[in-house]
Chain A
Amino acid sequence: MSAAQAGDWATCLELFQHFLSMSLLSIGGAITLVSEMHRILVDEAKVLSDLAFTNAIALAQAAPGPNVLFVALIGWYSARFGGALSSMAGIMLPSSTLTLLVSRWVGTHRHWVSVRAFQAGMTPVTVGLLLASGWLLAPPVQDIAPFAISMLVALLVWRTRVSLMALIGLGGLLGALGWV
């Protein structure tokens, strides 16, 4: 057990370094780095198995919280609790620091036409990209019933103030009963 513990510390440090170096590349979220992470952690460093890697992503997708938490799960499957913490610290520190620095700069220069053009100009692109991320998560059009449910939920959330939690609960129930 103590030998495994020592190995764990080395793995934690390794995870921390890998995620630290990937953090600033994660434009659009850590999820865009999935194939890169697979290459580095599963193929090269071999800190976790392919199955554990896939499980981590599926589970994080369904659990509450930001998607980036799949990084914590990858860490957990590699080196338990220490792995989860060191991986999250690695992926969050550089990107969060940069974000705060940039957002403060933007805040103090918001009267510049170029800054306003950037903020307004990016808006339609952001909206389109977020729509796409929902679309990619939704079942394919050929699965008529599940696809229709996704679209119905979209309509409800857009036009009404229906409770988001209730919808999720209902979805989980229908899924568990095997109806969708």
Chain B
Amino acid sequence: MPELSTTVTSERPASLWELFVACTCLAMQGFGGVIAVAQREFCVRRHWLTPAQFLEMLNTAQVLPGANVCNLTGMVGDRFFGWRGAFVALAGMLVLPMAGMLLVAWAIALVPAQSSAQDLIQGALRGITIVAAGQIMGTVLRLAAPLKQHPLKGPTCVALVALAFAMSAFLRWPLIWVLLGLGSASCLLTYATLRRQPPHGGTQGQGS
């Protein structure tokens, strides 16, 4: 079987409208990091993608220019409805949040600086940021579950995750260097491992 053997999802959006609504819903719930919500909506709630498919798409979305979650959403739309789907999914992701944000920016501009209302707003924003940070990390850990089936062994994977984390969080390397340096090393290692794997019965490859 060339397809993924883990839970294959059969569900898909019934219409462009459903896709639009789903993307709007997930965008409106995403504070600080929409990836967290996207994983839950696409994989857990709607079953449009398996966690492994989600992670695969996220890899492509991550190395290309653009916000990873926008790239991913465009790809999800494209998967189900082609170009139109990509456009609708992106529109769903951007239109309402953008309208809401511009409205808030406009309203905040009306609130005088140095007022108690302004303090309240700043405090709430700070509280939201603290929670959003935790949400992103929690989701990523949840997202990492398919790593268990990774061609590289567990300790190697954990080491790569830790290295990428340290390079970005502590050494503050520009993302491009982490992707080019560690990313290509990791890909080469995986390539070598996949090559060395004994093919399953005859000439058939291992399905991914």
Give chain A's interface residues, CB within 8 Å of chain B: 23-32, 55-56, 58-69, 72-73, 76-77, 81, 84, 88, 92, 94-96, 98-100, 102-104, 106-107, 110-111, 113-114, 116-139, 146, 149-158, 161, 164-165, 167-168, 170-178, 180
- For A138, give the chain B residue with the smallest CB separation: B133
Tell whether, in the assembled complex, residue B190 and residue A120 are in contact, meaning their CB atoms are under 8 Å apart. yes
- For B73, give the chain A residue with the smallest CB separation: A66
Tell whether, in the assembled complex, residue A128 and residue B163 are in contact, meaning their CB atoms are under 8 Å apart. yes
Tell whether, in the assembled complex, residue B57 and residue A103 are in contact, meaning their CB atoms are under 8 Å apart. yes
The contact of B136 among A120, A134, A149, by CB within 8 Å, is: A134
17 intermolecular pairs with C-beta atoms under 8 Å apart: A60-B101, A64-B31, A95-B65, A98-B66, A102-B64, A121-B186, A126-B59, A129-B62, A129-B168, A129-B178, A138-B137, A150-B130, A157-B142, A164-B29, A167-B131, A171-B132, A172-B128
Q: How many interface contacts (CB-CB < 8 Å) are there between A and B?
A: 368
Within 8 A of A (CB), among B21-37: 27-37
CA–CA, A25 and B174, complex, Å = 12
CA–CA, A122 and B185, complex, Å = 9
Main SS of the interface on chain A?
helix
* 4 smallest beta-carbon distances between A and B, as pairs: A175-B127, A128-B164, A65-B97, A157-B138
The contact of A132 among B62, B150, B165, by CB within 8 Å, is: B165
Tell whether, in the assembled complex, residue A176 and residue B127 are in contact, meaning their CB atoms are under 8 Å apart. yes
